[in-house]
């Protein structure tokens, strides 16, 4: 039997954007942030504190290449080159491997700063749901971190886990959230968010005749519950926002809101670019500091 090509259900759409209202040639300070995560990489370019362009793509097996690809894509058709950028900050899992960066800053500080820019100064608690780990962050009105909570690396409750589930159930990853909400009654969450165990459990549920929607509901619910325990330890102060890829999954977000009894701020930007935007803002502050020092 000829092997049929199986669609890649886990593959989420990569994207790029340029701000048509910004004339970068008239800009004074041009900076960039590059966030090389374990699953996705982003580059964001800021011109005088305004977001000018960004790209969001999958991380490859090589961090320097992923950083370069993300940056090249963000710069594409803008007329701008890497030489026009005054300062680049690298962040994320592969932050020390960004070949053209001037400094590396942790993704915790960058997500807080980027979250502050993307959601406004009222945001106090940020949950970064990344590809391979989750971080709960509390910050002040300037986006400076007051407290953060991180765990050892594990795919449970993360984007990579969701990718595995999309693939297991042959559901395009963008549809997982909505589909998981298409259940008459909320099922019990799967007993473990550990991707290996959850996958085995889900296979068993499918065999019992559970529809895909119900299995996804049980998984999204377990994932929401896992991060709720993380957030409860930190203490959620509103306003609350979620960054990272899972923020796009309504199935997880709405269950998390229900369990915590709060609402999350509506995202105005691609939630995956928070780290890169924060890094670009750090870069801008560093340029200003350098200029001030140079000026005496």
Q: Which residue is it, tokens 């409860």? A: 232
Residue 236 as a binder of other proteins (CB under 8 A): the answer is no
Q: Measure CA 28 to chain center.
A: 29
7 to 46: interface string for other proteins, x by CB under 8 A: ----------------------------------------
Is the Cβ of residue 119 or residue 282 nearer to other proteins in the bound state?
282
Is the Cβ of residue 262 or residue 285 nearer to other proteins in the bound state?
285
Instruction: Sheet with 103-104: list strands edge to edge.
Output: 15-18, 50-58, 40-47, 30-36, 87-91, 103-104
Q: Which residue is it, tokens 């966030």? A: 35
Total chain residues near other proteins (CB under 8 A): 19
Is the Cβ of residue 15 or residue 106 nearer to other proteins in the bound state?
106
Q: Report, in Å, the least distance between residue 152 CB and other proteins.
A: 5
Q: State the Cα–Cα distance between residues 243 and 68, nearest whole angstrom.
A: 23
Residue 234 as a binder of other proteins (CB under 8 A): the answer is yes
Q: State the Cα–Cα distance between residues 131 and 156, nearest whole angstrom.
A: 10
Residue 87 as a binder of other proteins (CB under 8 A): the answer is no
Smallest CA-to-CA distance from 256 within 179, 165, 189, 200 is with 189
Residue 237 as a binder of other proteins (CB under 8 A): the answer is no
| DSSP code at position 94 | T
Largest CA distance in the chain: 75
Q: Which residue is it, tokens 């690396």? A: 153
Residue 241 as a binder of other proteins (CB under 8 A): the answer is no
3-state DSSP call for residue 86? coil
Is the Cβ of residue 122 or residue 229 nearer to other proteins in the bound state?
229
Residue 290 as a binder of other proteins (CB under 8 A): the answer is no
Q: State the Cα–Cα distance between residues 48 and 51, nearest whole angstrom.
A: 8
Question: From the list 109, 179, 224, 227, which residue makes contact with other proteins (rule: CB under 8 A)?
Answer: 109
Determine contact, residues 133/153, Cβ cutoff 8 Å: yes
Is the Cβ of residue 105 or residue 198 nearer to other proteins in the bound state?
105
Smallest CA-to-CA distance from 274 within 111, 127, 119, 131 is with 111
Q: Report, in Å, the least distance between residue 92 CB and other proteins.
A: 12
40 to 79: interface string for other proteins, x by CB under 8 A: ----------------------------------------
Q: Report, in Å, the least distance between residue 167 CB and other proteins.
A: 25
127 to 156: interface string for other proteins, x by CB under 8 A: -----------------xxxxxxxxxxx--
Neighbours of 244 (CB within 10 A): 27
Q: Which 257-286 positions form the footprint of other proteins (CB under 8 A)?
A: 282
CA distances (Å), origin 231, targets 120, 256, 290: 20, 10, 37
* Interface residue list for other proteins (CB under 8 A): 105-106, 108-109, 144-154, 229, 233-234, 282
């Amino acid at each position: 039997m000829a092997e049929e090509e199986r669609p890649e259900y886990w593959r989420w759409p990569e994207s790029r954007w340029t701000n048509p209202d910004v004339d970068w040639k008239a800009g004074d300070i041009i900076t960039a942030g590059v966030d090389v995560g374990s699953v996705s990489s982003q580059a964001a370019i800021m011109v005088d504190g305004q977001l000018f362009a960004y790209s969001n793509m999958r991380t490859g097996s090589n961090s320097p290449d992923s950083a370069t690809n993300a940056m090249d894509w963000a710069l594409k058709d803008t007329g701008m080159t890497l030489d026009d950028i005054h300062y680049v900050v690298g962040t994320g899992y592969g932050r020390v491997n960004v070949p053209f960066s001037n400094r590396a800053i942790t993704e915790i500080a960058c997500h807080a700063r980027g979250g502050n820019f993307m959601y406004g100064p009222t945001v106090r608690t940020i949950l970064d749901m990344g590809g391979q780990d989750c971080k709960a962050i509390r910050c002040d009105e300037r986006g400076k971190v007051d407290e953060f909570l991180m765990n050892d690396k594990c795919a449970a409750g993360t984007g990579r886990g969701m990718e595995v589930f999309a693939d297991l159930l042959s559901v395009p990853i963008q549809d997982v959230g909505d589909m998981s909400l298409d259940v008459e009654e909320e099922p019990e969450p799967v007993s473990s968010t550990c991707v290996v165990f959850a996958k085995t459990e889900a296979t068993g549920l499918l065999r019992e005749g559970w529809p895909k929607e119900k299995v996804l509901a049980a998984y999204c619910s377990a994932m929401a519950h896992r991060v709720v325990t993380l957030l409860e330890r930190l203490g959620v102060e509103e306003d609350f926002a979620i960054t990272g890829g899972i923020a796009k999954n309504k199935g997880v977000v709405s269950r998390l809101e229900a369990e915590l009894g709060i609402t999350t701020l509506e995202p105005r930007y691609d939630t995956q670019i928070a780290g890169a935007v924060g890094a670009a803002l750090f870069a801008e502050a560093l340029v200003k500091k350098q200029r001030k020092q140079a000026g005496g």
